[in-house]
Structures are given as C-alpha cells and as structure tokens.
Amino acid sequence: MLRTALRNVLAHKARLMMTALAVLLGVAFVSGTLVFADTTATAFRDASAKSLKGVAVSVRAEGDPATPAGEEEGQRTTALDAALARKIRALPGVASVRPTVNGEATLAATNGRPVNAGNNSQNLATNYLRDKDGKDSHFPLKEGRGPAGEGELALDAKTAEKAGYRIGDTVRFATDGPALTKKLVGIVTTEDPQVTAGGTLTLFDTETAQKLFRHPGQFDEIAVAAQGGTDERALTDQVRALLPGKGVRATSGADLAAEQSAQIAQNTRSLTKTLLVFAGIALFVGVFLIANTFTMLIAQRSREIALMRAVGASRRQVVRSVLIEAALLGLVASAAGFALGLGIATVMRPLLNTTGAGLPDGPLVVTPAAPLSCLAVGVVVTVLAAWLPSRKAAKIAPVAVLSSVDQAPPARALVVRNVLGTLLTAAGVLVMFYVSTLTTSTESHLMTAMLGGVLTLLGVIVLAPLLSRPLITLAGRATTRWFGVSGKLAKENALRNPRRTAATASALMIGLALITGLTVGGHSAQRAMDREATQGLAADYKVTNSTARGLDADAAGKVARVPGVAAAAPVTSAGLDTRGRYAVITGTDPKAFGKATQLDFQAGTLDDIGPGRIAVSDEFAEQAGLHVGGTIDAELGSGTASGMDIGTASGTNPGIDTGKNTGTDTGKARKKLTVVGIYARTRAADDALGTLSDVLPYSTSSQELENVLVKAETGQSAGLERKIRAALGDSPLLKVRSQEQLVKENNGPFATVLNMMYGLLGMAVIIAILGVVNTLAMSVFERTREIGMLRAIGLDRSGVRQMVRLESVVISLFGAVLGTGTGIFLAWAGGSLMTTSMPLYETVLPWGSLGVFLVLALVIGVLAAIWPARRAARLNMLHAIQSA
C-alpha cells in the first residue's frame, strides 16, 4: 500500500499541485509568523544586551518629585546627582560609572518640516560622555567630534541623513518649548532599537543636557560597571545602601536583563497571536480545497480502488493508502511553505515599521521549533482533510462501482447535513442577535460575538449544498438566456454534485465573508471617526503641541494678530466635580469660540457665558440633574477628574487624539457656578463650557492652553499655516492641522491596520481561487467522455470553453453572494460593540466596495477557468469518447 500511495502521488502531479499550493501558502503564513516572532524577540534582546553590556548595576530615578519653588518650570527633578555618582564610584569593585540624562528632542529638517513628529517618544536625546580619549564609546564617531559646549550637538548618521544636515550646519530643534538652534559638530553611529526603527538621536554635552531636561548636576540613570571577579549582587546591595529612601531604584544587570526580556516577550506575544489567527484562517480555507481534491481523486479512481478491494485489499489498507498519500503531499508542501515563510518573515519588519511599530534590525532567527511546528501543522491539516475522503474510499464495493465513476451523494446524508446546518445557523444567528443588543465591548461580550460568528459561518458552510440549488438555478436562468446551450450545461454541471460545488464555493465564501465584515465594520468606523474628528468644529485650523506640554497662555492672542485670521479661540480644560459627578469643563473665549465652532444650544447662548457662568451639555445636564438658572457648588481641578483619561470620561473614543493633556494638578478650588445654557454635546465642547479665566488656573495642562482653534477670513486660508507657525516661534513641536489633516491623522493608524488585515485575509482568497481552479480542472477530467460526446453532437471548441467558464463564474458568484451576505450580517450584529468607544458609530454599507467584491467574483471565475477551459477544448473527440 505504501508503493501504491507513492505511485498515486507521482501519477497525479498536476492534479495535486493546486492542493500542495494551498498547504504551502497556509504553512508559509505560520512559518513566517513564528520566524518573525523569534527574530523580533531576539533583535530586541540583542539590542537590550548591547545597551546593558558591562552594566553590573543600574540606578534609575523613579518618578519626578515636584519641582522646587523658585526653580525654572518645565524641568524635572530627580534624586540622582553628581554627589551620589561620586559615592558609588568610590565603592570597592566599581570599575566606572556612567551618569546619563535622558529626554526628547524633535528636529526640524533643512526644509523646515519636523522629523518624526508623529512619534516624539522615539526622538531620543541624551548626554555625550567623554572618556580619557575625549570620545564616548557608546556612540562611535563617524564624522566630526563630540559636543563640548552649550552651542553644540551631535546627531546619529540616519537622523542627519533624514533631516539633510551636514557637519557645521545649524540645527533647529525643540524639547518642550520654543525652537532652539545649535551647531552640528559630530555624527555618530548607534544600535539603539528605537533609532534604528525610525527614531532620532540628539546628543548634547552633559551640562547642556541637564539644563534642557533636568537641573544642574542631576541625572536619570547611573550605570555601574564592575571590576573583574566582583560579585554583582553584593555590589548591588552596597549601592542600595547609599541611595536615598525614595525616588531611586538599584537593579542588578542580571535582573534588569530578565525584566527587559519578559517585557519583550509580552510586547511581541499579542502581534504573534494576531498573525497566527490569520494563518489559521488560511489553513481552514485550505482544508476545503484539500478535502475537495481528495474526494474528486477518489471518485476518479473508484474503479482502481474497487479492483484493489476485489484482489484482497482491506478497508483499513485503502484508508491507510489515502492517508499516506495525504501525508506525503503535506510533508513536501510544508517544507516548501516553510522556505517561503522565511521570505515573509524578512519583509514583515520593514513593512510594520512603516506604521511606526519601532522594530529593531537583526538577523533572521530560525529556532528548531519553527520548522518542526510548520511540518507538523501542514501534515496534520492535510491528513485530517483527507480523512473523510479516505473513509469514503474504503466503503467502495468491489463490484458496484465498476459501471459508474460519479455518483450523487445519498439523499439521507444530505438530509442529515441540512438538519445539522440549520441548527448551527440558527444558533449562530440567535447569538449574533443577542450581541446586537449589547453596548459595551467587554472581553466576555467579544468572546460571545466570536462564538456567534463562528457558529454562523459553520452553519452556512454546512447548509451550502442546500442553498446552492436555488441560487445556482437562478443564476442558470441568466446564463441560459444569454449564452444558450453552454449556459444551460454550465448550470447543470454546477448542480450535478451539490457537495462538491458547495465545498468549492465555501472556501471563497469564508474569505469574502471575513473581508466583507471587515470592510463594512471598517467603513462604518471610519465614518464615525471622521464625524468625531470635526464634530461641531467650524475652525479651519487646530493648533496644538505634540508633547505633553501645552501652548503658552498668550498663544491665541499671537495667532489672532496674524493677517487673514478672523478668530483664534484659546481652549483648555479642567476637572469638574459636582454632586459626585466627574466631568470635564472647557475654558475658552466665548466670542471667538462661537466663530470657530458650531454649537446647537437648546437653552441660552454663548453670549450668556461669563465669569462664574457656564453652559453644560445636554448629556451632563441629564446625568447631574442640572437646569438653566441653577447654581452648582463645584470643585475645579479635582484630582479625580484631571487624572482620568479625558477621552473616556467625556464619552469620546479613547483611541483618538483629543488634543488634551492629562498632566498633574496645578490647584483645586471650590466655586459656585451658575448654569446659563444647555447645548448638544460635541467633541469641540466637553461636558461644560466656561470662560478661560475661570478654568485656566486649574487646567489639566498646567495653566497652559491645550489648543487654539483658528477661523480664517474668507478666502485667506491659503498659506495661513506657515504664518501661524511663524507667529508662535515655528517650533518643530507645533502642529497646525486643517480639518482634512485632523481626519487623516485620526484615521491614519486605523487605516493602516485595516489595510494590513486586508492583505492577511487576501491569502485566504488566493487559496479559494486555487480551489476553483482545481475543482474545474478535475471536473474536466471526470467528464472527458461527456465532453467528447458533446463535441460529437455539434458543440464546438468555443462552446466547450464557454461552458467551463460559465460554470466557474456561477460557482464563484454563489460563494460571493453567500460570503457578502454573511459578512454584512456579522458586521451589523457586532457593530453595537463599537458604540462604547465610538458614540457616533452606525452601520453604513459601502456599496461601492460590495459591488467591487461581486465584480471580483466574476473576475475570479473567469481567471480560474482559463486553464481548465483550454484543456477541455483541446480534448480529442474520439479519444474522449473511448476513455474509460
């Protein structure tokens, strides 16, 4: 039987090629994901190991105590100072200490545009520490020298190239305030993973770095190197004995490496799981192709199997022969898939880094677990998919099938399948109807939605043979009317074996159902995000600071004096605690705010707002029982309100940039406020609206503005952005965004993730196309005699080609209709879970995209039929009639 299995594999190379390709693509996805995960984790660990090389003890500041009175604001204080560094250096066993200052600096390129402004946390800045040779071994020089004075800095090579700077140029940058300039005196190289993944590195001399980010003589970290033979943990204990009680933590190098390794594993685990889910979908779709292929192969070899049974082969031997054939196919395809997966893993890192993932460079890492897992998955999936066909082969009677090679499935089997499919579909639909009533996206609700989606998909798959008859009959009427005999034959061929047709269409249905659900949900979410980004906003520009620090209190006045500006509304916010209700109050200039926004007042007007007089949103008024004319005793700047997530507290999407800062308290005060108006809540105005003078002293942005809304004079918006930037000092940290840019920035990360998911699901669609090609090609082989008879009675070659093409189109459209309908239903039912984070979410059907999917199904049908149709048309008429 082993020789028989080998012979069958080699005898049907062309027929099994498509099946092997399906296994190959699915396994390639698994392989790429596993290798990518190992490569990324190793790259992070290597980068971490390099940064910790020679570090026996790391002393780090924990948190930033309040800035002492009289000190310059904007600088943070730490408990690490030069005196502590000297004490640590004097300990026995210490070889050296490296005190560092860390901060962020955003550069302006030579063309004036900020460099990497969207990811300020990756714009690293630190001090350049000179050793005895006048160089810093941590940052090898490529050109020039290290910074030695207040007016000098150095950049890493990638940053200098990206920004267009050369030695001797004047570099413009900002830390958390106005733009500064210094001379570029050196270019260094670095292996810091944040920098190699797209960030920037700016180096200052130690004194300058302390002035910019700390206080003179203070540091963020002191790295301690030990002499040879020194016990690392004993040295750590000695260092701890020197530390002040609070604000500092000493960690041994080994413990720090373990912590970072655990954090790296945690960071890469979720991405790996997500990619493996899509790999599982691809393999699941491949199961249909594999099972379909083996079912058809067994049908074509029924005479051969019957003869084997007649000469003494047992049922167990027949099953074993088919499973060995499947295992060999899975083994070869899995090996090829693993090799292809290495290529996928190679391109994943640069692809994800275009989305700001920040993955470090590193060599491709292949652990023994990756190829073993891939081979196991590929072989197991293939063998499982071939198990049912093998059982069917074992039931072939030695004599009964010698006169027939294509029998319709037993009626009883179809009845059992239809009953099971109905029960699964009904259960899935009921669960999804329950999900549609939910309004919170808790983990249990998400799991319930996933269960309902899986049950619905499985039910439709099982019911597909039953659904195929009415849908294909309907499509057949059109093909018969438009294409005559060829169209009618195509319909009859598709209906001949409903199980086979359903299995072929189901693979395409799964892919299109997931893509349709993703498209409907994504389109609806984007529409909601578009509306939320500019809801109630009439301003042409929104000015913000890209760091945690806000804008100067006089920023709105400076912008208002810019020629072409009609109004500049200052905006800040504070926590508002009244009657046990926590909310957010927006402080502004009501007159300017009225020109920059579109508020719908149900009672009162903006003109009524003044010192001690506020307007509240309809939602907050209902929650707190407020009405016009009422007086509330509120606490402004409360720790609860100002410390919370503004986006969540106000009911907006926490994943969307609101332009607000949730900094520390600057003060609290109880005030009596009179409600003078009620308006429909929008993103432009939170739960309450008051004057700037009432709110600014207690604002969450440390008595600074969170943003300025700018309304341009009619016809004066062109070129206004540059003028606004100039009026505010043209800092690289400034963001001056139009409404279109706000929408684009709002949707950018979401659109990127959506496109990635489309690409991942596209793998399932490609496998489904292979299934259509495989089914048609093997169907043509089955019907060789039939096609010969059709040719003999007058059907020409073009008619044969047309018949096969129309059969392919009908099957593809059947799968597309099922998939599109199922995807729309799942997206609608699951959409209710989005309303928590997106109050404006509602299901909106993207008719254009849905039409494209149907057209895509037509194209798939035509393309999938090219080779089978050509093969059918080229059959020799006489040889075909004589074939057994």
- The angle formed by the CA atoms of residues 479, 296 and 816, to the nearest 5 degrees, is 40
What mean pLDDT do residues 246-256 have? 84
Q: Is the pLDDT reported for residue 733 higher than 60? A: yes
Each residue's pLDDT tens digit, 189-200 = 987 777 876 789
pLDDT at 869 (0 to 100): 82
pLDDT at 125 (0 to 100): 93
Residue 357 or residue 659, greater confidence: 357
pLDDT at 325 (0 to 100): 80
What mean pLDDT do residues 535-563 have? 86
What are the DSSP E strand ranges found in 37-169?
Answer: 57-61, 80-81, 94-100, 102-104, 106-108, 123-128, 141-144, 152-156
Q: Is the pLDDT reported for residue 157 higher than 90? A: yes
Each residue's pLDDT tens digit, 262-282 = 777 776 777 777 777 777 777
pLDDT at 838 (0 to 100): 79
Q: Give me the sign of the Cα torsion angle 823, 829, 834, 839.
A: positive
What mean pLDDT do residues 281-290 have? 74
pLDDT at 675 (0 to 100): 93
pLDDT at 133 (0 to 100): 79
Residue 771: band (very low, low, confident or very high) from pLDDT cuts 50, 70, 90: confident
What mean pLDDT do residues 295-312 have? 72
Residue 230: band (very low, low, confident or very high) from pLDDT cuts 50, 70, 90: confident
Residue 183: band (very low, low, confident or very high) from pLDDT cuts 50, 70, 90: very high
Distances (CA, A) of 794 to 434, 457, 486, 595, 827: 58, 43, 12, 79, 49
**Highest mean pLDDT pick, 9-18, 40-49, 413-422:** 413-422
Q: Is the pLDDT reported for residue 143 higher than 90? A: yes
pLDDT at 5 (0 to 100): 56
Distances (CA, A) of 847 to 521, 524, 743, 751, 754: 13, 12, 22, 19, 18
pLDDT at 455 (0 to 100): 92
How far apart, in whole angstroms, are the C-alpha atoms of residue 34 and residue 268? Answer: 11
Please report, in angstroms and rounded to a whole number, the separation of the first and last CA atoms in the chain: 24
How far apart, in whole angstroms, are the C-alpha atoms of residue 260 and residue 270? Answer: 17
pLDDT at 413 (0 to 100): 60
Residue 372 or residue 49, greater confidence: 372
Each residue's pLDDT tens digit, 400-451 = 545 544 455 555 667 888 899 999 999 999 999 999 888 787 878 888 998 9
Give the DSSP letter of residue 597.
B
Each residue's pLDDT tens digit, 60-113 = 887 544 443 334 444 567 788 888 889 999 999 998 899 999 999 999 999 888
pLDDT at 460 (0 to 100): 92
Across-strand partners of 678?
603, 616
Residue 616: band (very low, low, confident or very high) from pLDDT cuts 50, 70, 90: very high
Each residue's pLDDT tens digit, 638-674 = 543 333 333 333 333 333 333 334 344 446 788 889 9
Q: Is the pLDDT reported for residue 297 higher than 60? A: yes
Rg of the Cα trace of the chain? 34
What mean pLDDT do residues 526-554 have? 83
How far apart, in whole angstroms, are the C-alpha atoms of residue 856 and residue 863? Answer: 10
**What are the residue boundaries of the structural domains of the chain, listed by start?**
1-55+270-407, 56-262, 467-535+740-884, 552-727
At 108, give phi and psi (nearest 5°): -100, 130
What mean pLDDT do residues 504-528 have? 86
Average pLDDT across the chain, whole number: 81
What mean pLDDT do residues 583-595 have? 91
- The angle formed by the CA atoms of residues 142, 143 and 148, to the nearest 5 degrees, is 110
What mean pLDDT do residues 687-715 have? 86
How far apart, in whole angstroms, are the C-alpha atoms of residue 673 and residue 848? Answer: 51
Q: Decide: residue 444, CB within 10 A, 0-12 exposed, 13-18 middle, 19+ buried.
A: exposed
Each residue's pLDDT tens digit, 464-501 = 888 988 989 888 888 888 988 888 888 888 888 888 78
pLDDT at 400 (0 to 100): 53
How far apart, in whole angstroms, are the C-alpha atoms of residue 183 and residue 531? Answer: 45
Q: Which residues contact 759 (CB under 8 A, 6 or more apart)?
A: none
Q: Is the pLDDT reported for residue 502 higher than 50? A: yes
Across-strand partners of 735?
544
pLDDT at 163 (0 to 100): 92
Residue 778 or residue 377, greater confidence: 377
